[in-house]
Chains A and B, each alone.
Chain A
């Protein structure tokens, strides 16, 4: 199976090789730097090598690595969510589970169908599938890394003990996935939470800022969800169209090799053209996927996390108001007043703490969001331009001598456009 982060020679653009956090505006902080330096895919598990560089005194060493699996990331995330102290922060969303099923199925089917295809077809399809697999692999690594980096960048969360254990403890954390009972519990918890959320959201907030944020986030979340789904579909059809080019290329190649008239060379050239087009179109769709779809998906999750924060705050507000009422009642009855007072004070503190940090968090969220969108949209546009202009430089070079082009000046970095035009000139000249 595929191992490591080795790229196919021309598959991914240089931008992807670094695999830095795509969506997060990282503070380069020498105190704590976390990244995923390596990853291994073993049958149905992915093992991430988490590498930490830190000058904090909490750690025994300055630089170390551990191996972690997806479930351990989830455990870490859940521990944040359940921690009452972090109620006032946007918990960085958990990375999605690595999903190689579709790609693995396809590889399997390919293996079974090996006998029925020609050698070239088989190699082509195999390369395609491997590239797909590689792409999914890189994405999942990136998402896990982004999660860790967000935690490391957060002033409070980075000090979390569980986080340090996660980074440092070089044995297995023995975190088992949730069994059925726990999953069921989770399910009910979620139901209760959403029902509660509805009730709580009915409470009008005094604070304008939070009121505005709530309406904004609600609408934004829904629209991001929609945009993310549509963007997914768009990149998928783009990819199918690219795949079709592949098949057309093979058919043209077959036509070219079996034809006896002068047109055979023509067919062969055009078939090559289609092959290259496919590669470029596949890159375009992969880049769109990375820069657009992933961006939207990530902000879908983040906006959900922000909504959760608002929910927690509203919840604590309701609790505070309830405590107030209880205190009034207790004072009226003159019974358990002290108890009521302490609980009211606690609620008040909790509420104020949450409110304060929530405000800052939401402002940060906006800044992060704007920066991430800017970065990704700029990169998207640049990549699209690059592919349209420069994509086919690689294959024109060897093709020029074969075509006996009249204008034999080889141009490096010739665009997709220029290559097509040259090719056309040559093909036209042959008639």
Chain B
């Protein structure tokens, strides 16, 4: 079943990569610009100068330099197809290209650009190929753990602090192993920062775990019962998965905000994440506006791929939701089963006590013990059901919502482009009118405006193409991740089922001779 084996990353990846490289100028430059100290949205290479206006830093000369060297590097790049991203060069000693030196892209970009203009694009090419390859292999050398939830403070101002431990050999981090304390709103803050930077250009930013007022209140109030410990555990696991997904994304990994989150001991409190803050209300208003807009935008979809994918995601969303409901029902019933088994075990023990035939009495007590152990088994299985299966599904349901959001951004981008085109047309008409009316000063103004809007139209078009490309890549990556994720988790889950069966066999085998011994 060749279809089931993922294509070996190295060999087959090449030809396609090569083609893509030609078109990939945009991403090429964009990655470079992200390699700089603060991420800017990916801009097409052809007009680097004007386009970075919207973003914070984009050294324009840098990109121009790189452009010239691009062609040469394509030849180079095809020879070295390795599984490493630029950041991982320190690890990969067998790096064939001499031009590439181990370097943290962010800190050293400026000097590098001057001295080794070759290297940055090489890095980029590698990262382009790697992006595909890494999706196949789990080679990100960074491990994140979220552990030790601790309650800090008291009363309604209390919060849970989680320890975020990072183990990595990536050189962009100052140490190889470090940990910090973070609270839930910090995670939300991280997500909102990443989302504001990347979502509208088409990157699928993994969604953060949801807030839960009820759960948190219980914890704050200090109820030390099993439901609040469960809640904390559920949240901890969700936060861990969130971070792991985020660092798996090659672009997001390089984001300085993420690095700051992982590394710095003090983080400014993210107040904007509170539901009732000004930012929160603004978010809600925006969401409503978006929803209305979505209904009114009627896009001419020129690319069937997008339509197809959107439909696919809709279907997938629905099916995952259905599956999720069934799995939650299973978790619920298994918990019930566990409780009932425990009750029965006690009852059987009592029965054994009152039975006056000694052998039978002993057998009944043994039965009670077996059932108690089985109850434990059921509980563990319920945990497995939940943490592996059910949470995976809910994570993916939320991820798909993010994917849909990205598609929506593309639509908005298209809308902007359309609007720019319409405005340009109007401006041209206005100019024509001016020509006829022969008002020289107004004509000049009109011409200026036309030029301005022409630029905007071109920008809009480029943005649109950019976002479309990014989305294609992201969706491809997402699909691969999804396949991997599901396979891994489901296999783990099946393994847990196997273990349960093995244990069951052991218990009943122990009981059988006891039952036979009743005389």
Which A residues are closer than 8 A to B by beta carbons?
216, 219-220, 223-224, 226-227, 230-231, 233-234, 236-238, 240-241, 244-245, 247-248, 251-252, 254-255, 258-263, 265-266, 270, 273, 277, 366, 369-370, 373-374, 377-378, 380-382, 384-385, 388-389, 404, 415-417, 420-421, 423-424, 427-428, 430-431
Contacts and interface: CB of A to CB of B under 8 A. Distances in A.
29 contacts: A223-B347, A226-B351, A230-B346, A233-B344, A234-B343, A240-B333, A240-B336, A241-B334, A244-B326, A245-B330, A251-B326, A265-B1, A266-B4, A273-B494, A370-B359, A370-B360, A373-B363, A377-B367, A381-B511, A381-B515, A384-B504, A385-B509, A388-B504, A388-B508, A415-B501, A416-B501, A417-B505, A420-B497, A420-B498
Q: Which 8 residue pairs across A and B have the least CB separation, nearest first? A: A244-B330, A374-B518, A251-B323, A377-B515, A237-B337, A230-B344, A247-B326, A430-B4
Given A258-B319, A421-B498, A244 B329 contact: yes
B4 A261 contact: no
B352 to A, nearest CB: 9
Interface centre among A236, A237, A260 (most CB of B within 10 A): A237
Interface in B324-341: 326-327, 329-330, 333-334, 336-337, 340-341
A224 B364 CA distance: 12
Contacts of B326: 244, 247-248, 251
Contact of B340 (A230, A245, A255, A382): A230
Given A373-B360, A381-B515, A226 B350 contact: yes
B210 interface: no
B343 A423 contact: no
B509 A248 contact: no
B6 A377 contact: no
A423 B494 contact: yes
A369 B518 CA distance: 11
Contact of B312 (A227, A247, A260, A277): A260
A370 B357 contact: yes
Contacts of B330: 241, 244-245, 248
Nearest to B488: A431
Interface stretch (B14-22, B426-434, B479-487): B479-487
A255 B312 CA distance: 11
A420 to B, nearest CB: 4
A366 B320 CA distance: 56
A125 to B, nearest CB: 14
Nearest to B327: A248
A430 B487 CA distance: 10
B336 A237 contact: yes
A219 to B, nearest CB: 5
Contact of B323 (A226, A234, A248, A263): A248
B347 A226 contact: yes
Contacts of A423: 494
B93 interface: no
B337 A238 contact: yes
B494 A263 contact: no
Contacts of A219: 354
B433 to A, nearest CB: 53
Contacts of B367: 377
Nearest to B502: A417
A298 to B, nearest CB: 14
A427 B484 CA distance: 12
Interface string B475-519: 000010011101100110011011001101100110110011010
A37 B74 CA distance: 85
Interface in B200-246: none
Contacts of B356: 216, 366
Given A248-B326, A251-B323, A262-B6, 14 more contacts: A216-B354, A223-B351, A230-B344, A240-B336, A241-B333, A244-B333, A245-B330, A255-B323, A261-B479, A266-B486, A266-B487, A378-B512, A417-B502, A420-B494
B5 interface: yes
A255 B319 contact: yes
